[in-house]
Chain A
Amino acid sequence: MHNELNDLYQELILDHKRHPRNFRDMPDATRAVDGHNPLCGDQLRIYVRLHEGLIEDVSFLGAGCAISIASASMLTEALKGQSIETAQALFGQMHDMLTNDQSTVDPGSLGKLGVLSGVRDYPSRVKCASLCWHTLKAALDGDKDTISTE
């Protein structure tokens, strides 16, 4: 009976919730963007330092549910040192995995981020996991200072 729930709250997700990685301010950030989910009050700020097409550093601060904190924490781990191009492609894959019932993205190909695939079965929680990705995209695109899920 609790298998379903354990799909959502896997140990890796709980670990990132309890000990979020790169959970810090970044005074020399190239961009900082605020993400807000007004439905549940989740608030994140994502910082990126970009240099010659690379994400040299990425960090975040904020408050939210376990899924949103863990998702943001795993995002920073996955993207540090990656190219902006890779990050944009990963955004597309994450978005598809989280929101598309017919998604062909193999969670196994996404490394640790694949554990978030269970969120798709909880429609009311998808935005918790995707908030940080939309915020990151705004930081990379440089077109907005704040984004909202609504």
Chain B
Amino acid sequence: MSTSSAAPTLHASTWDVECIRADFPTLNQQVHGHPLAYLDNGATTQKPQVVIDTLTRYYQNDNANVHRGVHLLAERATRDYEAAREQVRRFINAASTREIIFVRGTTEAINLVASSFGQRLQAGDEIILTAMEHHANIVPWQLLRERTGVVLRFIPITPQGELELERLPELFNARTRLLACTHVSNALGTINPVEAIIAQAKAYNVPVLLDGAQATPHLRVDVQALDCDFYCFSGHKVFGPTGIGVLYGRETLLESMPPYQGGGDMIRTVSLEKSTFAGLPYKFEAGTPNIGGVIGLGAALAYVMALDGEAVERYEQQLLAYATARLQEVPGLSIIGQAANKVSLVAFVMEDVHPHDLGTILDHEGLAVRGGHHCAMPIMSYYGVPATTRASMAFYNRPDEIDRLFEGLLKARKLLS
């Protein structure tokens, strides 16, 4: 019954995409009379059968609250919940499960840090962000600025969609308290050189938070090798359930931070006058957690870790190269975000074809893409576009789906221009 024993299908190192696709039941359906080509993985990924089965099994057999009852179901639920925490620890190679905090998603992870770590900050203290952040890594800091008067500084980006790292040194000073940066851009696909950024921050003794929501589905992450202080990611973008995510925090930092929310499970003792708080990681997990989500996430990460990581990266890079080349053949199409290092994501605009119309037209061809500002309005204004269309690919996508996207784009162009 435990999460870690939920065996994913093992795959050979040569990428057998049909074998992988068979693990994802959602992919096998018709949309408007066409086979579904799901190219919206940046928004959320589909779930392998093992995750669906794990969720069902938990709710059918083991449903109980964790860390409370002495009855058998409570013991099973608690065991599987904590086994998933160990699975997460291995997934990002954290030193200890005390550093793994379950939250609703990346957004809540960043809000937790802004609220708790931010409580110690004072007016005039500074936080460095970048101009390519998702709203989830901008707005919590703006709210903190309103509460405390901290100053926000931004690493600018280049027209290719890369960070202007040569501008970073001038942003540090004696008041810099944190650098928060996305590992991979959701709107551009850029893989940021986070090792170099962290090295610079360390030289100024500044802790670093990485938003890993778009990195974890594509890259292998090792928080100890990165030497980052916080790492945030969402379960649903890495083939797990929605409503569950992870905050990794360096243990010494987490120890020094006040609780985020108060309630059950996060306390040691409570009297009407005063409470003392539980140790890590429970200090940050108030109330009954998303137990099913946690156990499902554990199954998703076990599935991903059973894949050959290098083969995944190689295959996705082939998809990216193919998609980039094909889309460049479409007349009037401009790719937004042409960094040298990207995950398998292509964002673009087309002359005379608005992303919203394109989304509807492509949907009628069975193609699921995302049109909009991708919760990254500062990036849209930098490029002077109201919105883009984004095709984001996972390891289960196929080159023929890119061909269908190409045909769909030609069709849309013919219809609308």
Contact = CB atoms under 8 A, between A and B. Distances in A.
Interface of A: 1-2, 4-5, 8-9, 14, 17-18, 38-43, 63-67, 122, 124-125, 128
A41 B372 contact: yes
Contacts, number: 54
Contact of B360 (A1, A63, A122): A122
B153 interface: no
Contact of B373 (A2, A41, A124): A41
A64 B354 contact: yes
Given A40-B371, A40-B386, A66 B354 contact: yes
Interface string B292-336: 000000000000000000000000000000000000000000000
Interface residues of B, number: 18
B68 interface: no
A142 B386 CA distance: 27
A41 B386 contact: yes
Nearest to A127: B356
A18 B355 CA distance: 16
B340 interface: no
B385 to A, nearest CB: 8
A7 B32 CA distance: 14
Interface of B: 32-33, 354-357, 360-361, 364, 371-373, 380, 386-387, 415-417
A132 to B, nearest CB: 15
Given A40-B355, A41-B380, A67-B357, A1 B416 contact: no
A33 to B, nearest CB: 19
Given A39-B372, A125-B356, A66 B387 contact: no
B336 to A, nearest CB: 13
Q: Which of B33, B354, B355, B415 has the most CB of A within 10 A?
A: B354
Given A40-B371, A42-B386, A5 B361 contact: yes
